[in-house]
Structure 1
Amino acid sequence: MEDLLKPDYGVMILTVCNFLLLVYLLKKFAWKGIIGALEKRERQIADDKKQAQEARESAEQLKRELDEKLAQIADEAAKKMAEAVRVGETQRDQILAAAKEQSERLAEQAKAQIEAEKNQALAEVRGEIARTAVLAAEKVIRQQISEASAQEAVNRVLEEVKAK
């Protein structure tokens, strides 16, 4: 067990020689390739970061443009909606005015028609009264009767007119 704790200088020298030989071989054949690959990877990462930043900026610019266009579209839609409401109100007012005018015209026509019918009815009544008076006078003359019987004949004729 004591032999395990004592250093073996031969093995130690061989290990150091192997390590130095390994460092020399790595430096001669692999070090440039490893360093080149690491530098290439570092450049690739830097380029990727730069492209990602540019893409982010481009996306933010596109988002700002789209937000502006959306705001413009919303403004245009609001303007068109207000215009449509205004046109609708104008048309409603025109329709109401036309309807009012037409109703007034119809009322005037109805009044004129009623007046004409009233005048016609009055003319008919006047004509009937005149005919009745003539008939009564004719009956009175034909009968040549007394005033009481004439009055009775007139009353009969008036009742006949009322009955019609």
Structure 2
Amino acid sequence: MEDLLKPDYGVLALTVCNFLLLVYLLKKFAWNRIIGALESREQQIAQDKLQAQQAREAAEKIKSELDEKLAQIADEAAKKMAEAVKMGETQKEQLLAAAKEQSERLAEQAKAQIEAEKNKALSDVRGEIARVSVLAASKVIEQQLNEDAAKAVVDRVLAEVKAK
């Protein structure tokens, strides 16, 4: 067991030589490729980070443009709604004015028709009164009666007219 605790300088020298030979061979054949691959990977990662940053900035720019367009659309929609409400109010006023005008015209026509009917009725009544008066006068003349008898005849004729 004691031999295991003592160093063997020959093995140690061979191990150091093997290690140095391995380092030399790695440096000569593999080290540059490994470093190149790592540097290439580092550049690729940096480039990917840059592209990601640019994509994020572009997305933020597009988002802000879309927000502006959305605000413009909302403003335009509000303006169009206000215009539509205003136009509706205008049309409402026009319809109300037209309806009022038509109702006034119909009322005037009705008044004119009532006046014409009234005049016709008055004309008919006047004609009837004239006819009755002529009839009464003719009966009074026919009978050549006194005043009391004429009064009685007129009253009788008026009663007949009322009965009709």
TM-score by length of 1: 0.90
- Which amino acid in the other structure matches residue 11 of structure 2? V
* 1:145 Cα offset (Å): 4.1
In the alignment, structure 1 residue 19 sits paired with structure 2 residue 19: yes
- Which amino acid in the other structure matches residue 161 of structure 2? V
Distance 2:159 2:18 in 1: 158
Name the structure 2 match of 1:55. 55
Deviates further, 129-138 or 142-151: 142-151
* 1:91 Cα offset (Å): 1.4
- Which amino acid in the other structure matches residue 26 of structure 1? L
- Which amino acid in the other structure matches residue 8 of structure 2? D
For the aligned residue pairs, the C-alpha RMSD in angstroms reads 1.7
Listed as ranges, the gaps of 5+ residues in structure 1 are none
In the alignment, structure 1 residue 113 sits paired with structure 2 residue 113: yes
In the alignment, structure 1 residue 123 sits paired with structure 2 residue 123: yes
* 1:159 Cα offset (Å): 1.7
List per-residue Cα deviations over 1:75-115 (Å, max 9, x = no partner): 22222221122211111111111111111111111111111
Name the structure 1 match of 2:2. 2
List per-residue Cα deviations over 1:106-152 (Å, max 9, x = no partner): 11111111111111101111111111121122223333444444333
Name the structure 2 match of 1:102. 102
Listed as ranges, the gaps of 5+ residues in structure 2 are none
TM-score by length of 2: 0.90
Distance 1:62 1:117 in 2: 80
Name the structure 2 match of 1:34. 34
Distance 1:3 1:118 in 2: 153
Identical pairs, percent: 79
* 1:46 Cα offset (Å): 0.9
Distance 1:18 1:101 in 2: 118
**Equivalent residues, number:** 164
Distance 1:16 1:79 in 2: 87
* 1:47 Cα offset (Å): 0.8
- Which amino acid in the other structure matches residue 94 of structure 1? Q
List per-residue Cα deviations over 1:65-84 (Å, max 9, x = no partner): 11222222222222222112
Name the structure 2 match of 1:70. 70
Secondary structure, aligned partner of 2:7:
coil
* 1:27 Cα offset (Å): 0.4
Distance 2:7 2:143 in 1: 183
Distance 1:18 1:144 in 2: 178
